[in-house]
Amino acid sequence: MPITKTTQKVDINQRRIINGADADVIQLYPMRHTFAWDAYNAANSNHWLPTEISMQKDIEHWKSPTTLTEDERRAFKTVLGFFTTADSIAANNVVLAMYKHISSPECRMYLLRQAYEEAIHTHAYQYIVESLGLDEGEIFNMYREVDAIYDKDEFILSFNEGIFNSEFKTGTFENDQKFLENMVVFSLILEGIFFYSSFAVMFGFQRQNKMIGSAEQIQYIMRDESQHLNFGINIINTIKEEQPELWTPEFQTHIINLIKKAVDLEAKFAAEVFPKGIFGMNADGFRKYIEHIADRRLARVGLPVQYNTPNPFPWMSEAIDLNKEKNFFETRVTEYKTGGTLEW
């Protein structure tokens, strides 16, 4: 991007999430989108690394012939297989789509931090795989072999075809709406729905006092993903304010239908991966939980809820504290600590 030599200062009123009139991503101030700066600072206070967490108990549990059932081993590996591909997809979207088209400097600051966190998550999965002596090829290639994972990934990636194109640019109604659709798919669906039955399973292990090191890492990842989700929702809602013409009734119906499709895919994933149920959670319970989560996502962007399903796994609120998703940054002084001192 060329620099225009001028004495005229940046006008805060020209700042936009996309299509900022000054498009000067070099100047952080004047700052318009303060939610992004809050997110950036909260994330820095929340820094952690996988190697801070002991895997000794997990190694003992995995080597033990009696601690884990075959169904539990299969569920653990499949969930891990999904996580590995999901965070890679998210990282690619941050670097190749969001960062390229977002013109808000403070939002770009947070995206750099988010991209780093996605790398930490991939590091965590590799740390778990290596610690337990799992077959790396089996885990990291599951998205190609397990239909339930492939279907979710294929659904998400189908929305990249236009926005990843090197010639794609925002600035037209059609392309701006395409970018907004991308934000919905990656924030509300990938990070806000597709992770959640897998989170429930990992925290199920924790409730049984099994694979506790792996589960603790997933808790840190869940906390990061909650930040990513909140940031994405703020981006969506701010674009709605800055460019209300994009949020047409037809587009809203389209988003609701995408969410419904995502619920079906995630329920199918849970039913196929955990056919006998696990830790007292069955296919019906997973679907109800996913519907409950989906309604929360719809409400956060001002769309009508579709299911009105109560949370069938109330203990999940203790594990991931869903209430924190609403005001995640307001409590960061007390809720965020470095990885080594965090208490759950």
Tens digit of each residue's pLDDT (9 = 90 or more) over 97-126 = 888 899 898 999 999 999 999 999 999 999
- The reported pLDDT for the residue numbered 80 is 96
- The reported pLDDT for the residue numbered 277 is 85
- The reported pLDDT for the residue numbered 335 is 41
Contact (Cβ atoms closer than 8 angstroms) between residue 218 and residue 202? yes
Active-site positions read 127
Q: What is the pLDDT of residues 240-255, one digit of tens each?
A: 999 999 999 999 999 9
- The reported pLDDT for the residue numbered 24 is 57
Dihedral in degrees, nearest 10, Cα atoms 262, 246, 186, 46: -130
Domains and CATH numbers, the chain: 53-335 (1.10.620.20)
> Could you tell me the CA-to-CA distances from 237 to 169, 178, 187, 221, 298 in Å, in that order?
21, 15, 12, 24, 12
Between 333 and 227, the more confident residue is 227
Between 323 and 344, the more confident residue is 323
The mean pLDDT of the chain is 87
Residue 326: band (very low, low, confident or very high) from pLDDT cuts 50, 70, 90: very low
**pLDDT at residue 27 tops 80:** no
**pLDDT at residue 332 tops 80:** no
Place of tokens 């006092």: 209
Give the contacts of 2 (CB within 8 A, at least 6 positions apart): none
Q: What is the pLDDT of residues 136-159, one digit of tens each?
A: 999 999 999 999 999 999 999 998
Bond prior to 30 in cis (omega within 30° of 0): yes
Question: What is the separation, in whole angstroms, between the first and last Cα of the chain?
Answer: 45
- The reported pLDDT for the residue numbered 240 is 96
Contact (Cβ atoms closer than 8 angstroms) between residue 338 and residue 44? no
Residue 327: band (very low, low, confident or very high) from pLDDT cuts 50, 70, 90: very low
Residue 318: band (very low, low, confident or very high) from pLDDT cuts 50, 70, 90: low
**pLDDT at residue 25 tops 80:** no
- The reported pLDDT for the residue numbered 246 is 97
> What are the structure tokens assigned to 319, written together?
């594990």
102, β-bridge pairs: 18
Q: Give the global pTM.
A: 0.89
The dihedral of CA 181, 122, 333, 215: what is its sign? positive
- Report which of 210, 342, 227, 223 is spatially closest to residue 279, judged by C-alpha positions: 210
